């Protein structure tokens, strides 16, 4: 087990709600509708709920498996030994690093397409990564503060869902449950990338005061995320027709485009700019988890590791060009994350439960 975390560095249980929510609501919320309709059509809002239930199960496993001052690296080392457990931990660190890279690259792509076509990826990336370094360098409590602000401040954007309802065709949602269970499950799998970041819980768990009290707040965070995704998906489904939504890359931005106000002509500019407050906690928490893992596994200095990883993120963002490449990388990490979260974690839980029972019987 790692060195116990001092109480001064720990966070209150209710803040787990903001950590879970902030890392689940990212760039994916601007484009997920066009992906989930591929298999289940407009029944896909049910698939969003199914995907959310899957997250609730993994959250339950996390709190059942982890003990105070213990993270996933301790469990893997205990079960698989120093080297194999360390290998699994290293893969997880790389996974969170790639998640952070994708979050930034997708956001920069949106800025290039919708606002500034000729903006430099390098300079914009440097600007964002300086902010990320500043936050992570302040410690985990500062990361939590950014996650709190990144959830509370942009929440006003939910009220923009009212405007597209003026052009709504509610009959699009009928008939309900018109697809097979297989189609609904395949559609829920497409939601994976949007929900993936919550697995940072397995790394920041030792930083929670009274983890048992935090259990309900983690579930509230997931519930809030599900409500947001279901609401946005249903508004998109009644706003677009089925063939149209499949061809629109960013349906949420398309709905913002029709908003007209006396004081602003292009509301999507405000929405995209505000989304920087959503991307920042998304990146900081996943990068913090990645560098925290390297510190736990190899005793690396976390502040120096952050600098190295930020340079890697910047280089990767400059090298990844074109929407097809970005989508391909997103799809690949989505598949890796799906099997890691929904297959490896339950497997680890079963093995760990059996291991503890055998050890107690001896």
Could you tell me how far CA 15 lies from the centroid of its own chain? 16
pLDDT band with cut points at 50, 70 and 90 for residue 246: confident
From its phi and psi, is residue 139 left (phi > 0), alpha (psi between -120 and 50) or beta? Answer: left
Q: Which of 4-8, 12-16, 312-316 has the lowest mean pLDDT?
A: 4-8
* Degrees, nearest 5: CA angle 275-99-20: 65
Classify residue 204: in a domain, yes or no.
Answer: yes
The enclosing domain of 329 has a CATH number of 1.20.1740.10
How far is CA 115 from each of CA 112, 151, 266, 270, rounded to the nearest angstrom? 6, 23, 10, 10
- Structure confidence by residue, pLDDT tens digits, 146-168: 999 999 999 999 999 999 999 99
* 273 Cβ contact list (under 8 Å, min separation 6): none
Is the model's pLDDT at 248 over the cut of 80?
A: yes
Q: Which of 42-51, 103-112, 184-193, 200-209 has the lowest mean pLDDT?
A: 184-193
Q: What's residue 136's pLDDT? A: 96
* Degrees, nearest 5: CA angle 214-75-57: 45
What single DSSP character describes residue 208? Answer: B
Q: Cα(220)–Cα(20) distance, rounded to whole angstroms?
A: 9
Report the domain count for the chain.
Answer: 1
Q: Give the mean pLDDT of 257-280.
A: 87
Is the model's pLDDT at 217 over the cut of 90?
A: yes
pLDDT band with cut points at 50, 70 and 90 for residue 354: very high
Classify residue 285: in a domain, yes or no.
Answer: yes
From its phi and psi, is residue 41 left (phi > 0), alpha (psi between -120 and 50) or beta? Answer: left
Q: Cα(330)–Cα(193) distance, rounded to whole angstroms?
A: 8
| Residue-averaged pLDDT of the chain | 92
Q: What's residue 1's pLDDT? A: 57
Q: What's residue 204's pLDDT? A: 96
Classify residue 297: in a domain, yes or no.
Answer: yes
Q: What's residue 193's pLDDT? A: 65
Q: What's residue 265's pLDDT? A: 78
Q: Cα(243)–Cα(245) distance, rounded to whole angstroms?
A: 6
Classify residue 52: in a domain, yes or no.
Answer: yes
With the CA atoms of 230, 153, 278 and 215 taken in that order, what torsion angle do they form, in degrees rounded to the nearest 10? -60
For residue 231, the enclosing domain spans 7-357
Q: Give the mean pLDDT of 266-281.
A: 91
Q: What's residue 283's pLDDT? A: 95
Classify residue 362: in a domain, yes or no.
Answer: no
CA nearest 285: which of 71, 81, 95, 135? 135
Q: What's residue 63's pLDDT? A: 95
Q: Give the mean pLDDT of 115-122.
A: 92
CA nearest 317: which of 127, 161, 57? 127
Pairwise pLDDT comparison (344 vs 177), residue with the higher score: 344
Share of the chain above pLDDT 90, in %: 72
Q: Which of 23-32, 232-241, 303-312 has the lowest mean pLDDT?
A: 23-32
Is the model's pLDDT at 120 over the cut of 70?
A: yes
Q: What's residue 2's pLDDT? A: 59
pLDDT band with cut points at 50, 70 and 90 for residue 27: confident
Classify residue 227: in a domain, yes or no.
Answer: yes
Q: What's residue 30's pLDDT? A: 87
Classify residue 1: in a domain, yes or no.
Answer: no
Classify residue 246: in a domain, yes or no.
Answer: yes
Q: Give the mean pLDDT of 26-55.
A: 90
Is the model's pLDDT at 362 over the cut of 80?
A: no
Token pair, residue 95, equals 């996974």
């Amino acid at each position: 087990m790692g060195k116990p975390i001092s109480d001064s560095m720990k966070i209150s249980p209710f803040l787990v709600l903001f950590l879970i929510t902030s890392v689940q609501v990212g760039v994916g919320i601007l484009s997920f509708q066009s992906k989930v309709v591929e298999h289940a059509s407009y029944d896909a809002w049910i698939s969003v709920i199914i995907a959310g239930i899957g997250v609730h199960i993994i959250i339950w496993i996390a709190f059942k498996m982890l003990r105070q001052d213990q993270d996933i690296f301790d469990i893997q080392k205990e079960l698989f030994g120093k080297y194999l457990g360390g290998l699994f931990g290293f893969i997880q660190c790389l996974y969170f690093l790639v998640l952070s890279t994708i979050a930034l690259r997708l956001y920069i792509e949106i800025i290039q397409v919708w606002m500034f076509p000729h903006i430099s990826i390098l300079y914009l990336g440097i600007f964002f990564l300086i902010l990320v370094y500043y936050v992570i360098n302040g410690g985990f409590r500062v990361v939590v503060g950014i996650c709190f602000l990144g959830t509370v401040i942009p929440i006003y954007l939910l009220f923009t869902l009212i405007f597209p309802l003026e052009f709504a065709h509610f009959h699009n949602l009928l008939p309900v449950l018109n697809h097979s269970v297989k189609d609904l499950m395949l559609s829920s799998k497409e939601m994976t990338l949007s929900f993936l970041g919550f697995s940072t819980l397995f790394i920041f768990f030792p930083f929670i005061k009274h983890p048992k009290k935090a259990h309900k707040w983690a579930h509230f965070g997931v519930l809030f995320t599900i409500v947001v995704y279901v609401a946005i998906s249903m508004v998109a489904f009644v706003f677009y027709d089925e063939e149209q939504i499949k061809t629109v890359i960013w349906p949420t931005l398309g709905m913002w485009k029709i908003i007209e106000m006396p004081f602003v002509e292009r509301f999507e500019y405000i929405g995209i700019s505000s989304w920087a407050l959503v991307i920042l906690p998304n990146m900081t928490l996943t990068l913090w988890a990645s560098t925290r893992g390297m510190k736990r596994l190899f005793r690396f200095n976390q502040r120096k590791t952050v600098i190295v990883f930020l340079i890697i993120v910047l280089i990767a963002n400059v090298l990844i060009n074109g929407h097809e490449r970005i989508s391909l990388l997103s799809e690949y990490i989505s598949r890796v994350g799906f099997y890691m979260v929904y297959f490896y974690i339950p497997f680890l839980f079963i093995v760990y439960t059996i291991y503890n029972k055998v050890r107690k019987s001896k």
